[in-house]
Amino acid sequence: MSGVILKNLTKSFNKVTAVNDLNLEIRDKEFMVLVGPSGCGKTSTLRMIAGLEETTGGEIWIGDKLVNDVSPADRDIAMVFQNYALYPHMSVYDNMCFGLRNRKVSTKSSIPILNKRRAFTNQEIDRRVQEAAEILGLKTLLQRKPKELSGGQRQRVALGRAITREPQVFLMDEPLSNLDAKLRVQTRAELIKLHRRLGITTVYVTHDQVEAMTMGDRIAVMNNGLIQQCDTPLNLYHNPANLFVAGFIGSPAMNFVQSTIVDTGDGLMVDAGSFKVAVPQNRVDLARPYIDKKCVFGIRPEDIYDAKLPGLVDPVPANTVTIDVDVIEPLGSHVEMHLKSGDLVLIAMIDSASKAQSGDKADMLFDMEKSHLFDPVSERAIY
């Protein structure tokens, strides 16, 4: 068993609290993504797991072992960085086995933990390199130097170096961010396959929510050194716990509108000022405390429809809003529309069959079953 457990993990640099009382349980064989904006504490968290950074407080468990005082080399982890420094004068083969060859051998050490390390035979080293090269499609490139490789191939060598260590846990810090867009998507898929094949517990850091959504078994969304929510990609998308997660997950981002709830006698409506839409029947009890009070209405761009396009969603007159079409950006299957209602701008992803033109007033249907409501003070989701 080699999950990773972080208990009340804290890291301060002088006055900056980079990681603030973080609790996270990464399961054995799980691919866990830490995602959040730059500076939210992702790298600090990873470096503490690796042992490259001391903790200010809290515990780190790998498998069933408390590793706070275990040296990085003895934690049985392998880390892949954004800047995958390869040795330029060494072949791919030598780069991949560098860590294994340089493993220190110590005999009869008075420090028990050192006794457990052993040197690898050349045969064992070769087996590991050949296996990693096979997995990563590097077999024909083993004798090349890094400068004779493409960016993607170099990144695979860096991964290979991590794989040959056959660690209990992989730690990856934005390993794809130096690749161009196409290669990033490709390598992303390769990493997922690799994880399926090796089944090694992985903690993967990225600031890119698309990468997080496509790769993670679960995603821990971080902000300001805190985990905002940890769940499967789809649960984060459908049930964000707060405004931050709602705005961070999904692209284009969810629309937020300062609103109040009004009781029409017939049911509850979200009153956004320039338009009203109906609170879904099964959410009425949750919305009731916000009658005549401030709340934040949330709707994703993909949950707004052109009411004139038949069949996409059941027409509900109460949830149809007449709104100004401002800008239209064609994206192929969909168009991104900027809709204006008074001072309000909403982004909508509309099927490109829509006939609405810039400058039109168009009827847009809000899929209220998919809408959200947030408390403006606590920023927590009401539903």
Residues forming the site for ligand ADP (CB under 6 A)? 13, 16, 18, 36, 38-44
Decide whether 82 or 320 has the Cβ nearer to ligand ADP: 82
The span from the CA of 225 to the CA of 211, in Å, is 20
Q: How many residues does the chain have?
A: 383
Q: Which residues pair with 355 in a beta bridge?
A: none
Query: Which of 174, 195, 203 lies closest to 60, judged by CA?
Result: 203
Decide whether 36 or 233 has the Cβ nearer to ligand ADP: 36
Partner whose binding site includes residue 113, from Mg ion, ligand ADP, none (CB under 5 to 8 Å by kind): none
Count of CB atoms within 10 A of residue 89's CB?
10
Six token digits for residue 280: 């879904």
Decide whether 222 or 335 has the Cβ nearer to ligand ADP: 222
Strand 320-330 and strand 334-341: the pairing is antiparallel
Decide whether 43 or 242 has the Cβ nearer to ligand ADP: 43
Kindly state the smallest distance separating residue 43's Cβ from Mg ion, in Å.
3
Residues that bind Mg ion (CB under 5 A): 43
Instruction: Sort 110 into a burial class: Cβ within 10 Å, 0-12 / 13-18 / 19+.
Output: exposed
Partner whose binding site includes residue 41, from ligand ADP, Mg ion, none (CB under 5 to 8 Å by kind): ligand ADP
Kindly state the smallest distance separating residue 37's Cβ from Mg ion, in Å.
10
Partner whose binding site includes residue 221, from ligand ADP, Mg ion, none (CB under 5 to 8 Å by kind): none
Q: Could you give the C-alpha distances from 43 to 194, 206, 245, 247, in angstroms and in order?
A: 23, 9, 19, 22
Alpha helical stretches, state H, 274-321: 284-287
Partner whose binding site includes residue 223, from Mg ion, ligand ADP, none (CB under 5 to 8 Å by kind): none
Q: Look at the alpha carbons of 299, 226, 169, 155 in this order and tell me if their dihedral is positive or negative.
A: positive
Decide whether 18 or 212 has the Cβ nearer to ligand ADP: 18
The span from the CA of 257 to the CA of 168, in Å, is 46
Partner whose binding site includes residue 354, from Mg ion, ligand ADP, none (CB under 5 to 8 Å by kind): none
Partner whose binding site includes residue 164, from Mg ion, ligand ADP, none (CB under 5 to 8 Å by kind): none
Decide whether 49 or 138 has the Cβ nearer to Mg ion: 49
Kindly state the smallest distance separating residue 367's Cβ from Mg ion, in Å.
36
Kindly state the smallest distance separating residue 63's Cβ from ligand ADP, in Å.
24
The span from the CA of 306 to the CA of 360, in Å, is 12
